[in-house]
Amino acid sequence: MVNLTINGKVVQAEEGEVLLSVIRREKIDVPALCHHEAVEAFGACRLCVVEITRQEWDGWCDYVTSCLYPASDGLIVNTHAAKVNDLRKTIVDLFLARHPKCPEIIELAAEYGVYSTTYQTVVDGDNCILCGLCTRICDRMGFHAISTVGRGHGKEVSPPLHKAPPDCTGCLACAQNCPTSFIEYSAAKGFLTIWDKKFELLKCSGCGKETITKVFAEHLCQERKIPFEYFQICDECHRKQLAATMGEITSWDREAAS
Amino acid sequence: MQLKNPKQLATLQKKYKAAEERFPKKVLICCGPGCLASGAQKISDKFKQVLKDKRIKGFSVEALKETGCHGFCEQGPLVIIEPDGTFYTRVKTKDVEEIIEMSVRKGETIDRLLYSPNGDGQRIQRYHDIDFYRHQDRIALANLGKISQCNIEEYIALGGYQALAKVISSMKPDQIIDEITESGLRGRGGAGFAAGRKWATCRKIESDVRYVICNGDEGDPGAFMDRAIMEGDPHAILEGMVIAAFAVGSSQGYIYVREEYPLAVVNLQKAIEQAEEMGLLGDNILGSDFSFKIRISRGAGAFVCGESSALMKSVAGEVGEPRAKYIRSVVKGLHDQPTVLNNVETLATVPVIINKGADWFKKIGTKKNTGTKAFSLVGKVRNTGLIEVAMGTTLRKIIYDIGGGIIDDRPFKAVQTGGPSGGCLPESQLDLPVDFDSLTEAGSMMGSGGMIVMDDKTCMVDVARYFLGFLVNESCGKCVPCREGLYQLHALTVRVCEGRATEADLEKMEKLSNQVIIGSLCGLGKSGPNPLLSTMKYFREEYLAHIRDKRCPAGVCRELITYEINDKCTGCMACIAVCATHAITGKKGEIHVLNQAKCTKCGACYAVCKHDSVVVS
């Protein structure tokens, strides 16, 4: 364990634990758009920036992203130093210029007192904030179906060659974790469409509700050694079935006891 | 033939040296990128064709060498006759037979082809006497222009791989690191980190696997130092890498080179094969139990892949995006293993330091910036080309003594160093010694060694706009301050160029620049606003002229200028011929008329007019 100071308070942390995790444990509000506990820290949005210094640095400060910077003994952290607040404000301002119609960004900017951007609004700026969560989660799922493509201002999230991704299983992890709900998908009449790829949906044999895609179920069967029958009923029906079986076990227990 | 021990290498050197000495006279044809572009290959082929059916005493086609870049690209294609160093410039295929007859056979000089510094008929015969070469100190570029491209025999004849033999036979890894540390060698890639310290850190980390990578991803516009070394003297890089690997305890190395340098890729590959065949690379180098392999990793030419962490990701086959380096790549680099990443020039300097010693190296340059640095001197300077000077040489000496001053004796305006991440320095900084620390202090940086000279016809706002535009496209797009911040800075600079900006915009640019510097993830964003900040610092009045007077003093920014034809016009019709929009009308011998409504301000008439009658206002 190491001791460090956050906003004047001495706190304990695991050696090497990232600052953001310590800060969140201390219930200090530091924004972060590209952070997700399920995947490796990325350091792209730069909103979680904090000021750090040490006694021996003699007043010199550095500005680091707390989602990546490891805690160490004697570190002095200021999560809301004037320069940090200034930088965060500039970043949300830049975000607002790029994504003028994105509700999440508009709300965040308002928190920092930015109601209209001071910069040049990007014409046809969409709602993808390029946090890279979708691509990282897709990689984590083991599919690598989508990636960021291109460089600089023209960078975007896309399947290979902008065509329906061959490796996508329609698991929806990307869309459901997109902080701005930018990734579109639709489910209708037994089919799910995402990234221009159409998937057949499984139907619950119990209630007839549509569940996950057949391709994703097959993938799970193969990779996680789950029997295919498991996916033939929906979660709700599973619970009902389980409850019923548990009842049987209880009654069997009672019989055994008597 | 596999060399089994350092002694065999010494014997081989003697043999190759004797072979070299068979022909006292040699013809060296520069086949660097500049000369190749102006037809060096055709000249070389012509030489071979003519020599095929000629018998000349003491000369044969074997004494004809296609060398790497000789440096004086401005005067190419270059042909040099050794041993006296007769220097023929702008050689054409029709001159070849004459050179063979006069210079090779009879030993006479062809005056017409000699270099003339002032174009006044005074000619200099030997290249050693030309100002461009006289003021240079060559270490990393020493073999360029002397040996055939990737010819291991000639490299060995000149003492190549002797440093490796010395290291293997008589030095311990720590001794090598001490020697490099003592020499004060700083990384030539831009940041100037002490190479010895990097190696020492890497060696100390406990790990089974360590990597040595050579950074050949030279991406600065107008820079070609590393390219010249990779193409012309690849064995020096390999030797440096093997020594580095021996010092840090690595068995696998990579050379990261961009696909846009096809000749570099081919020559490096050839060099690797030659060295492996001789047992100077691969398993059991020179019969020792030390093994080291090198593979070439080809990049797709992304500027950001010159950044260490992005480069390592690219080598590993991932998207070339930098990561935060709170844990440095020397600790956790390629495949999360300790990795030494050195620039081409740094590695090519290593064998020389081992051979001649740290004390010799320290005497060159200044106290904290030892040795030499190669630059590609380009722009509005008379003698463009590849140069290498001792650290601490002043900008004035480089631009005026070596570079020969500004073309047409126009006034000097600025010099841009360090590529897109560097800055522009004005005339007041001309006496600045060129080294890592002085340049950074002045608001620019050393970078990998690009040096672009500008005259008074260059608009500094336009220069800042150009470099920012380059960076907007070349930013990896991962972090917001760089991706969006540089985009907005570029947009603001465009506003200035178009005369739409206010003085408040200037303040905004300064503030945003500083935020981008603090907030960005990697060196690209952290140094991205440098071209803007340095031009705003040194050429503020030019920005103000654009903003207040809606005027571009250099006559560059299209929105703020008009072209006019004055009464000096002789009616030659040259401008009418080039005007794409037919905006100029007139008859032969009569003053032409420019219709402003049709003019797109492309500047073609201005460029073509020989009578100064097209003027910018």
| Overall number of domains in chain A | 2
A179 has a chain B CB within 8 A of its CB: no
The pLDDT confidence band at residue B90, using thresholds 50, 70 and 90, is very high
Enter the tokens of residue A246: 């548990």
pLDDT of residue B55: 83
Q: Percent of chain B, pLDDT > 70? A: 100
Query: Averaged over B473-496, what is the pLDDT?
Result: 95
Per-residue pLDDT for B243 more than 60?
Answer: yes
- Domain end, chosen from A57, A80, A103, is at A80
| Whether the predicted pLDDT of A255 surpasses 70 | no
A99: in domain: no
> What are the pLDDT digits (tens) for B302-317?
999 999 999 999 999 9
End-to-end Cα distance, chain A? 55
Q: Kindly report the CA angle at B543 between B540 and B544, in degrees rounded to 5? A: 90
The residue of chain A nearest to residue B473, with distances taken between CA atoms, is A152
Q: What is the CATH number of the domain that holds A41?
A: 3.10.20.740
Q: Is pLDDT at A253 greater than 80 in this prediction?
A: no
What does the pLDDT read at residue A111? 93
- Per the CB < 8 A criterion, the answer to whether B228 and B141 are in contact is yes
The alpha-carbon gap from A89 to the nearest alpha carbon of chain B, in Å, equals: 10
- Strand, helix or coil for residue A189: coil
B302 contacts A151? CB cut-off 8 A: yes
Contact B23, B63 (CB under 8 A): yes
Q: Minimal CA–CA distance to B88: which of B121, B122, B126, B56? A: B126
Query: Quick one: pLDDT band at residue B465, thresholds 50, 70, 90?
Result: very high
Please, which pLDDT band fits residue A256 given cuts at 50, 70 and 90? Answer: low
What's the pLDDT at A254? 55
Among B307, B483, B486, most A C-beta atoms within 10 A, so best to mutate, is B483
- Mutation for testing the B interface, residue in A84, A94, A122, A148 having most B CBs under 10 Å: A94
Taking CA–CA distances from A89, the nearest residue in chain B reads B515
Residue A89 falls inside a structural domain: no
Give the domain-ending residue among A65, A80, A95. A80
> How large is the angle between the packed helices B460-474 and B540-548, nearest 10 degrees?
100
pLDDT at A188: 87
Checking if the pLDDT of A257 tops 80, the result is: no
Determine, for residues A155 and B518 on separate chains, whether the beta-carbon distance falls below 8 Å: no
d(CA B22, CA B43): 24
Cβ(B188)–Cβ(B343) under 8 Å?
A: yes
Judging by DSSP bridges, how do beta strands B252-258 and B293-299 pair with one another? parallel
In a domain, A94, yes or no: no
Half-sphere exposure (CA, 13 Å, Cβ side) for A8? 2
Domain containing A35 equals 2-80
pLDDT in tens, A91-147: 999 999 999 999 999 999 999 999 999 999 988 788 999 999 999 999 999 999 999
Q: What is the crossing angle of helices B344-356 and B225-232, to 10°?
A: 60
The answer to whether B483 faces chain A, any CB pair under 8 Å, is yes
| Whole-number Å distance between alpha carbons of B558 and B521 | 35
Q: CB–CB of B484/A94 below 8 Å?
A: yes
Note the pLDDT of residue A247.
Answer: 62
d(CA A107, CA A180): 12
Least confident of A40-44, A247-251, B59-63, B538-542: A247-251
Structure-block tokens of residue B413: 């305006």
Kindly calculate the radius of gyration of chain A based on its CA atoms and give it in whole angstroms: 24
- Which is it for strands B412-417 and B450-455: parallel, antiparallel or unpaired? antiparallel
Per mean pLDDT, which range of B216-220, B244-248, B489-493 is the poorest? Answer: B216-220
Q: What angle do CA A36, A39, A41 make, to 5 degrees?
A: 75
CB atoms under 10 Å from CB of B197, counted, come to: 15
Chain A residue closest to B302 (CA)? Answer: A151
Assess whether pLDDT exceeds 80 at residue B119: no
Question: How confident is the model over B325-335, as a mean pLDDT?
Answer: 91
B470, closest residue in chain A (CA to CA): A152
Please name the residues in contact with B475: beta carbons below 8 A apart, sequence gap of 6 or more.
A151, A152, A153, B304, B482, B483, B486, B524, B525, B528
HSE (side-chain half, CA atoms, 13 Å) at B302: 26
Calculate the CA dihedral of residues B565, B568, B573, B575 and round it to 10 degrees.
Answer: -40
How would residue A203 be classed by pLDDT, with cut points 50, 70 and 90? Answer: very high
Q: What count of Cα atoms within 13 Å lies in the side-chain half-sphere of residue A251?
A: 6
Tokens read off for A151: 């460089």
The yes-or-no verdict on residue A207 having pLDDT over 80 is: yes
Q: Confirm whether A20 is domain-assigned.
A: yes
Of the three residues A80, A101, A127, the one that is the final residue of a domain is A80
Using an 8 Å Cβ cutoff, are B67 and B31 in contact? yes
**Residue A249: predicted pLDDT:** 57
Q: Rounded to whole angstroms, how far apart are CA atoms B326 and B328?
A: 6
Residue A112 domain flag: no
Question: Can you list the domains of chain B with their CATH numbers?
Answer: 9-134 (3.40.30.10), 152-361 (3.40.50.11540), 372-458 (3.10.20.600), 461-548 (1.20.1440.230), 562-616 (3.30.70.20)
Would you say B468 and B532 are in contact if contact means Cβ atoms under 8 Å apart? yes
pLDDT at B533 over 60: yes
Q: Mean pLDDT over residues A3-27, rounded? A: 94
Cis ω for the linkage preceding B77 (within 30 of 0): yes
Per-position b or e across A175-200, b if 16+ CB within 10 A of its CB:
bebbbbebbeeeeeeeebebbebebe
| Helix (H/G/I), strand (E/B), else coil: B513 | helix
3-state secondary structure of B128: helix
User: What was the pLDDT predicted at A252?
Assistant: 54
- C-beta atoms of A43 and B479 within 8 A: yes
Look at residue B298 and tell me whether its pLDDT is greater than 60. Answer: yes
The verdict on A48 touching B (C-beta cutoff 8 Å) is no
Q: Give pLDDT, residue B275.
A: 95
CB atoms within 10 A of CB B162: 18
In this structure, what are the phi and psi dihedrals at residue B267, rounded to the nearest 5 degrees? -65, -40
CA distance to partner chain B, nearest, from residue A223 (Å): 24
In A, which residues are within 8 Å of B519 by CB distance?
46, 49, 63, 87, 90-91
The answer, yes or no, to whether residue B477 has pLDDT greater than 80, is: yes
Q: ipTM value of the model? A: 0.90
The Cα-based distances of B445 to A52, B160, B421, B466 in angstroms read 26, 33, 8, 18
The tens digit of pLDDT for each residue in B559-614 reads 898 899 998 899 999 999 999 999 999 999 899 999 999 999 888 898 888 888 88
Q: Does A101 map to a domain? A: no
Collect all residues with Cβ–Cβ distance below 8 Å to A230 and sequence separation of at least 6: none
Q: What is the mean pLDDT of residues B549-556?
A: 90
Give the DSSP per-residue string, A119-150. SPPPTT--S-----HHHHHHHHHT----EEES
B475 reaches A (C-beta below 8 A): yes
Q: How far is A190 from chain B (nearest CA, A)?
A: 36
Is residue B370's pLDDT more than 70? yes
B474 inside 8 A of chain A by CB: yes
| 3-state secondary structure string across B574-595 | HHHHHCCCCCEECCCCCCCEEC
As a whole number of angstroms, the distance between CA B545 and CA B529 comes to: 21
CA distances from A128 to A46, A133, A155, A183 (A): 16, 11, 10, 8
Would you say residue A127 lies in a domain? no
pLDDT in tens, B133-146: 999 999 999 999 88
- Give residue for tokens 């460029």: B607
Nearest to B326 among A70, A98, A147 (CB): A70
- Residue whose C-alpha is closest to residue B296's, from B338, B254, B332, B347: B254
pLDDT of residue B189: 84
What mean pLDDT is predicted for residues B11-22?
Answer: 91
Dihedral over Cα of B228, B232, B235, B236: its sign: negative
Q: What is the pLDDT of residues B418-456, one digit of tens each?
A: 888 889 999 999 999 999 999 988 888 888 888 999 999
Is A88 a member of any domain?
no
